[in-house]
Amino acid sequence: MFAASTVKPETATFAAGCFWGVEHIFLKHYPPSQNKGILSTKVGYTGGNPIVTNPSYRLVCGGATDHAEAVKIEFDPSIVSYDELVEFFYRTHDPTTVNRQGADTGTQYRSAIFTHSDEQAAVAKRVTEEVQAKHFTPKGFYLHSWFILPRPYLLHLSPAGKKIVTEIVPAGQWWDAEDYHQLYLFKNPDGYQCPTHRLHW
């Protein structure tokens, strides 16, 4: 039995493509039953046109509302830090593609961090810069001694650098998604999961 924490829970909100897979991978690695810091999750819609209230899944998928499919996470900061959750967010999707994850395309699938305080915004920007430098910046040139006639050598470039395009914006109006979307891949283990939702490092 885990002792109840006296620390006030905090909220983190992330968008990284189809919210089924995003919620699933966070809960798979931070299961509430194992006291790893995440207390609960909700999937829903945020970051859209403010005149649109209580949007439906069909409306959001149509692209007219500009809402993102997102996951709202309640967590215990005495167990898992916001820094760690932001880094994990980056580990589990491709933050270099605009309005896309895998074959899923549209503004609802954009990469975004919706911050709930100035402190969260500062952390999100710092971690983003660290991830960019460590995982998405070219390390330079590599000279290989491949003897390919008629040239004595071939200059081979390292993989091209990619730029993180994740939006970092203040959290706004949140709308819970329909009930059948909540914990979808736990209820439907054979359901669709975007292949980008995995640990990339």
Q: Which of 12, 15, 16, 18 is catalytic?
A: 18
Q: Which residue type does 109 have?
A: Y
For residue 15, which of 104, 118, 81 has the smallest C-alpha distance?
A: 104
User: CA quadruple 137, 143, 145, 151: dihedral positive or negative?
Assistant: positive
Q: Is 107 within 8 Å of 66 (Cβ atoms)?
A: yes
Active site residue 61: no
Other beta carbons less than 10 A from residue 10's beta carbon: 19
The answer to whether 168 and 111 have CB atoms below 8 angstroms apart is no
- Residues noted as catalytic: 18
